[in-house]
Amino acid sequence: MPQAYQGIVSTAAKNYGMPEGLVASIIKAESNYNPNAKSGAGAMGMMQLMPGTAAGLGVKNPYDPAQNINGGTKYISQMYQKYGDYQLALAAYNWGPGNVDKAIKKYGKNWAAISAHAPKETQNYVTKVMKNWG
């Protein structure tokens, strides 16, 4: 992790009760620490927040590293509180909680079962973040 972001990641992780390594792994997977990253779908900043999600999290400038990391960490924390499982939380972060909710109704709260039916991008994302974190 670039030294410039160490303090922001550490503080955000502590504030939202998330493992620092998980937050760092999400940032690495989402933007490789590029604060100006923008996806074709419109996700912005280091943790690739969609405009509506960013606004809902109180992020006024998604390209500001501190705001983006705090917003993204708050969001993954919310997803973890909702699902109680890091893989499901990451799937929701990437694929959207609505899709994860539908998958849970069909397959239960079992990432292995859900993963078999999730988009390849989400399968790869969860695997990549978990591997980099571990």
Point out the residues that are catalytic: 30
Two tokens, residue 23: 């937050």
In the 3-class helix/strand/coil scheme, how is the chain assigned residue by residue?
Answer: CCHHHHHHHHHHHHHHCCCHHHHHHHHHHHHCCCCCCECCCCCECCCCECHHHHHHCCCCCCCCHHHHHHHHHHHHHHHHHHHCCHHHHHHHHHHCHHHHHHHHHHHCCCHHHHHCCCCHHHHHHHHHHHHHHC
- Chain centroid to Cα 119, Å, comes to 16
